[in-house]
Amino acid sequence: MDAIVKKSSKRKWFFLLVLLLLVFFLSLFVGRYSISPIDVWRILLSPIFAQQPGEFAIEKSVIIGIRLPRTLLTMLVGAGLSISGAAFQGLFRNPLVSPDILGVSAGAGFGAVLGILLIGVTPVISLFALPFGVMSVVLACLLGKIRNATPVLSLVLAGIVVSSVFSALISLIKYAADPYDKLPAIIYWLMGSFTKASYDDLKLVTLPVLTGITVLLLIRWRINVLSLGDEEAHSLGVNPGRLRWLIIAAVTVVTASAVTVAGIIGWVGLVIPHMGRMIVGVDHKALLPATVVIGATFLTFIDIVARTATAAEIPIGILTAIIGAPFFAFLLKKTKGGWL
């Protein structure tokens, strides 16, 4: 019995990892500037096999300078948002929660939009987005500290309050912004995109995102206990308060970093955890690593579509729902919701 379960779970992991690898390479192989697959291989293997100097100079800069950082960034963001969603759904004991429930997206979005209004679209707007994202979560946590109330419920409520305030402020800035110049930039930013992905972005967010993911992976089994509710966690020797702040901190760092480099990408953090549960079950010990792999694969695949489907690039925040929703509906029908 145990052996069968282990074998089938090994096969699932193998399948998931192969899929991730395939999407990774596909992402390097396709794009606006067409390069033959053979040349892509030659460029990728160029550190091993010597080439004549100057050969494939443009192709090289496309693949190594543009597609590679973009692919890595997409994977990082996809993995980060997905594991954050899974951790939050366990923490809040609610499968409808997404990582921005405490207002991090609205906060970071407001920061970025404010930055665009004040100084225009420059890489500096990251420095606006990140602190505002963190600030909004801190605000929600302070607001949510209500005596005599279920901590999890009051936190969600506080998150909704903070989110709506920042959303309103974003609307205010949109209303005030120059409609020919700033407004399109703001709207485009808010829809989420990896168009400007660079090694600088990668340098900015790799460390925080990987740190957050590592923390969540380390405490993943405890999330099971926390998902039983505070009283039961207590009775099982788990301090729910401390664990909760650790998870919120990790998720906030990851999500704020993701929003900073990619804008607001919805749906991934909500739905990838459900796909994970369909495949590996509800135990967070298996679920969290699975969401990392599935999230990275999913978002990279969507990004490939975003930059190749039409002549102009489609903002990825739109496609995650347009492609993701029907796919999810299909899975829901097919698995008959057995994991819910």
Partner 1 sequence: MSLEVRKGEFGYEQGKPIFRKISFSVEQGEILTVLGPNGSGKTTLLKCITGMLKWKTGGTYFDGKPVNNFNKSNYCINIGYVPQGYSLIFPYTVSEMVLMGRAPHIGLFSAPSAGDWEIAGDILNVVGIDHLASKPCSEISGGEMQLVLIARALASEPDVLVLDEPESHLDFKNQLLILNLLRKLAIERKFSLIVNTHYPEHALRISDKTLLLGRGGYVFGSTEDVITESNLRDYFGVNVKMLLFDNEKGERLKTIVAIGLLDN
Cα–Cα distance list, 302 to 41, 294, 324 (Å): 23, 12, 9
Helix (H, G, I), strand (E, B) or coil at 309: coil
Q: CB-wise, 149 or 236, nearer to partner 1? A: 236
When binding is defined by CB under 8 A, the residue of 234, 249, 321, 331 that contacts partner 1 is 234
Residue 286 beta carbon to partner 1: minimum distance, rounded to whole angstroms: 10
Rounded CA separation 288/106 (Å): 25
Scan residues 271-310 and list those touching partner 1 (CB under 8 A). 277, 281-283, 285
Q: Evaluate whether 289 touches 15 at the Cβ level (below 8 Å).
A: no
When binding is defined by CB under 8 A, the residue of 224, 313, 323, 331 that contacts partner 1 is 224
Q: Residue 123 gets which letter from DSSP?
A: G
Rounded CA separation 174/172 (Å): 5
Residue 100 beta carbon to partner 1: minimum distance, rounded to whole angstroms: 20
Distance from the Cα of residue 252 to its chain's centroid:
11
Angle at 190 between CA 328 and CA 295, to 5 degrees: 35
Q: CB-wise, 83 or 225, nearer to partner 1? A: 225
> Is there binding between residue 319 and partner 1 (CB under 8 A)?
no
Site string for partner 1, 23-52 (x = CB under 8 A): ------------------------------
When binding is defined by CB under 8 A, the residue of 34, 36, 150, 235 that contacts partner 1 is 235
Of 86-94, 122-130, 155-163, 204-212, which segment contacts partner 1 by CB under 8 A? 86-94
Residue 205 beta carbon to partner 1: minimum distance, rounded to whole angstroms: 24
Angle between helices 151-176 and 126-144 (to 10 degrees): 140
Angle between helices 268-280 and 2-29 (to 10 degrees): 140
Residues that contact partner 1, how many (by CB under 8 A): 31
Interface residue list for partner 1 (CB under 8 A): 1, 5, 90, 93-95, 218-222, 224-225, 227-228, 231-232, 234-239, 243, 277, 281-283, 285, 339-340
